[in-house]
């Protein structure tokens, strides 16, 4: 089994990039955020942590990840978020004979990421993401579900999450320096896809 890790700040386009790689290159997309939002439906404590831009515990993250690893090649979106998770992941890879192929670091200007998060609409049902500036409809083009703003997609929560990212997650760029590929997502969607294609070929 092979694994790609996507490392990025909030709003950098991890979900969009993972979906693209999943569909085009046949990796299973595992998003810790979306797995944890599912857990939050039955657990108020988890919901409150997510809504306030705080991390949930490393143990819970690894637990939900473990339950979702089967036999497919995977792309990890949102894990690891700190050095402890990276070390736990190293052990999990070893136990499951998973080969970490590469770590894609999506780099983006903080202001652009903030704007994308604040303008983000998410389909309540299929979770597809839209930009308020680019869509007129109030329903999803794919499944017809309602488009909503995630509770953590506010300017205030974004700033908190970004500061945590700088402190906890950005050091992983150094941790993974031997496998790291840096790509930029400050421009259009097409240019993100082109950058990904160059690295996936």
Facing residues of 106 across strands? Answer: 8, 183
Task: Name residues contacting ligand AMP, limited to 140-179 (CB under 6 A).
Answer: 152, 161
| Residues 122-142 as b or e (16 or more Cβ within 10 Å = b) | bbeeebbbbeeeeeeeeebee
Considering only 52-60, 106-114, 125-133, 180-188, which stretch makes contact with ligand AMP by CB under 6 A?
52-60
Of all residues in the shown chain, the one whose CB is closest to ligand AMP is: 33
Minimum Å gap between C-beta 136 and ligand AMP is: 25
Q: Can you tell me the distance from the alpha carbon of 7 to that of 121, in angstroms, rounded to the nearest whole number?
A: 22
Q: What are phi and psi of 104, to 5 degrees?
A: -95, 120
Q: Can you tell me the distance from the alpha carbon of 176 to that of 102, in angstroms, rounded to the nearest whole number?
A: 9
Binding test (CB under 6 A) with ligand AMP, winner from 55, 130, 184, 193: 55
Binding mask 17-46 for ligand AMP (x = CB under 6 A): ---------------xx--x----------
- Which residues make up the interface to ligand AMP (CB under 6 A)? 10, 32-33, 36, 49-50, 53-56, 61, 78-79, 81, 85, 152, 161
């Amino acid at each position: 089994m092979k694994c790609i890790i996507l490392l990025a700040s909030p709003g950098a386009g991890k979900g969009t990039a993972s979906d693209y790689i999943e569909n085009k290159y046949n990796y299973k997309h595992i998003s810790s955020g979306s797995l944890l939002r599912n857990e939050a439906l039955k657990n108020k404590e988890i919901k409150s942590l997510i809504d306030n831009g705080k991390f949930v515990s490393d143990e819970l993250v690894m637990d939900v990840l473990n339950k979702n690893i089967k036999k497919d090649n995977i792309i990890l979106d949102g894990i690891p978020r700190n050095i402890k998770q990276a070390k736990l992941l190293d052990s999990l890879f070893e136990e499951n004979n998973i080969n970490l192929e590469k770590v894609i670091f999506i780099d983006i200007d903080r202001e652009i990421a903030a704007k994308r998060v604040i303008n983000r609409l998410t389909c309540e049902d299929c979770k597809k993401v839209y930009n308020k500036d680019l869509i007129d409809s109030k329903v999803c083009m794919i499944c017809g579900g309602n488009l909503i703003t995630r509770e953590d997609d506010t300017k205030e929560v974004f700033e908190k999450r970004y500061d945590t990212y700088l402190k906890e997650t950005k050091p992983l760029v150094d941790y993974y320096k031997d496998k790291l590929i840096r790509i930029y997502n400050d421009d259009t969607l097409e240019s993100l896809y082109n950058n990904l294609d160059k690295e996936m070929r």
